[in-house]
Amino acid sequence: MGDVQAGQNTNTFILAGITILSCVILHFLYKTIFGSEKKEAQTHEKETDLGAPTEETVTETTSTEARSGAKNKKRVPWKGKTEYSHPWLLKNLKGHPGTVLLVDFSANGKFMAATCDETVASVDSASAAARRRKPRDRRRPPSAPPTPSTPQRISTEELAEALRPHLLSPKRMWALGYPLEIEPNSSKAVAYINPPPRPRPLPMTTWDVNAPEFVPGSQGDSGRGSLGSTPRSDSDEEADAVEHLCVRCDKMFRMTREGEYLKEESCFYHWGRVSSDCRYTCCKSVLGSRGCSAARFHVWSGTRPGMNGPLEGYVRARSPRGGVYAIDTEMCYTTAGLELASIAVIAADGRLVYRSLVKPSSPVVDHNTRFSGIRPRDLARATKTLRDVQNDILGFVGTDTILIGHALDNDLRALKLLHSSVVDTCALYPHARGFPLRRSLRALSEELLGRSVQRGSTGHSPLEDARAAMDLVLLKVHEERASRARICNQLPILQPYDPLISAA
């Protein structure tokens, strides 16, 4: 019994010793296998902290050494593991040194990979596919708008001398519609107005054959009709009425000589111009269609096509004062036609010389705010009349003063000013299709000056328009000077005739 118990104790000690020995062996193997890897990782971290070169630097160094000499084929081993975030990358980019963030394909079918040391969780394959499918935009970028330019200012004397050849002759002024005096030292003028160049639909004229005027003896005049001495059935007010052509809807309407409407009729009109395809620029409707805008009354310009006169209330300068000025005015519709409502005068150096609001002498029918920029509250605070403005203008405008403007005939008729030394940008920059067509100030400013005028929703500004007209004239003067200098440089220098040199 004692021997059996002693044998069991011996087996227990042997088993315990074998277990301890196994643990020691396993621990040794663990330290041997995994300890070297941990030591290598710690060494790598220490080198990184001390400023060891990164993978990108090693890559650049390797590529540089490979390019510098063909014999040097030494390759720096890659440090760290490559972690791919997509199965496709794991399959096709096994030898790539870094984590692939983006893969794109070039035109020849080869892929281009971008790498980084930072770990990226995933790659957005949908966005990459969308970038691959996006077509290349081969269109030219839109051209930038021209930079607004202001011509160089010159002295008043030089500008006046350069503008002498461009002064309008009396014959040219007559053709353009400028007011001219009937006789010297008089306040009466006459003006010839050309028919408007815009296309107009033909009016539909109908005749009533049963009207009393066409029935002999219907008015008790023994067959003499309307030419007899029998009083007409119309009232005296209608007999004194005057017919005017509405400048907006091209319809005839009647007013008394005192400026009262015989019939209140709304005006439906197109405020835009007629384009080359016979459509209005305001609403793109065809020519002859019903107007897109409405007004309470018809309006007229105060003049008729053809001869107009004698026109009273005109003034003119009596003594020379010199100077060059640009003038622009804005007008509103009254019962007497277009009347002056605002004026601005600019000197040759660009400074403002005169600006004022003007109170019309007749009742205002339409302020024409879309184009004039004049509102009822503006005219409510106007204190000067046309006579006051004329006196102010003649204070610095003399007989030899050069006045500049765009379609200056309208401004001089509104001012009721007679002047002969004028430069009109309409004549300075004529229309390609000739007279009586005229280029607008807005088109000239955008093309030649790179400046946008008359674009605001508040209407035109006389100050802005006057400066644009002055700059257009200065631009023309500079172009002519440059052209003359170019011609002088091209011509050979002629020497005076010398008989001795010629005989030799």
Supply φ then ψ for residue 267, to 5 degrees.
Answer: -110, 120
Average pLDDT over residues 277-306: 89
pLDDT of residue 361: 92
- Among 407, 408, 340, 346, residue whose Cα is nearest residue 374: 340
SS3 content of the chain, % helix, strand, coil (to 5): 35, 20, 45
pLDDT of residue 498: 61
Average pLDDT over residues 23-44: 72
User: Tens digit of pLDDT for each residue in 211-269?
Assistant: 555 455 544 443 333 333 444 445 555 567 889 999 999 899 999 988 889 988 999 99
pLDDT of residue 12: 81
Query: From CA 480, how far away is CA 324, in angstroms rounded?
Result: 18
How distant is the alpha carbon of residue 253 from its chain centre? 38
User: Tens digit of pLDDT for each residue in 368-390?
Assistant: 888 888 889 989 999 999 999 99
Average pLDDT over residues 64-69: 48
Cα-Cα end-to-end distance for the chain: 162
How far, CA to CA in Å, does 307 sit from each of 117, 180, 189, 242? 90, 12, 11, 17
Beta carbons within 10 angstroms of residue 180's beta carbon: 15
pLDDT confidence of 78, banded at 50, 70, 90? low
pLDDT of residue 56: 47
pLDDT confidence of 89, banded at 50, 70, 90? low
pLDDT of residue 503: 58
- Average pLDDT over all residues of the chain: 77
Query: From CA 315, how far away is CA 397, in angstroms rounded?
Result: 12
Three-state DSSP at 307 gives strand
> Is the model's pLDDT at 130 over the cut of 60?
no
Give residue 226's identity as a one-letter amino acid code: S
> Is the model's pLDDT at 62 over the cut of 90?
no
Q: What is the pTM of this model?
A: 0.62
> Is the model's pLDDT at 5 over the cut of 70?
no
Buried b (16+ CB within 10 A) or exposed e, 351-378: eebbebbbbbeeebbbbbeeebbbeeeb
pLDDT confidence of 18, banded at 50, 70, 90? confident
- The residue that leads in pLDDT, 115 or 310, is 310
- The residue that leads in pLDDT, 341 or 73, is 341
> Is the model's pLDDT at 38 over the cut of 80?
no
pLDDT of residue 99: 58
pLDDT of residue 165: 94
Mean pLDDT is highest, among 214-218, 228-232, 471-475, 484-488, for 471-475
User: Tens digit of pLDDT for each residue in 300-326?
Assistant: 999 998 999 899 999 999 999 999 999
Instruction: Give the whole-number percent of the chain exceeding pLDDT 70.
Output: 63
pLDDT of residue 225: 37
Answer yes or no: are the C-beta atoms of 175 and 299 closer than 8 Å. Answer: no
- Give domain limits for the chain: 44-68+79-119, 156-195+309-490, 196-202+235-304
> Is the model's pLDDT at 63 over the cut of 60?
no
Average pLDDT over residues 353-370: 92
- The residue that leads in pLDDT, 222 or 463, is 463
pLDDT of residue 236: 53
> Is the model's pLDDT at 119 over the cut of 50?
no
CATH number 3.30.420.10 is the correct assignment for the domain at 156-195+309-490: yes
Average pLDDT over residues 414-433: 94
pLDDT of residue 11: 80
- Among 277, 245, 197, residue whose Cα is nearest residue 440: 197
pLDDT confidence of 54, banded at 50, 70, 90? very low
> Is the model's pLDDT at 406 over the cut of 90?
yes
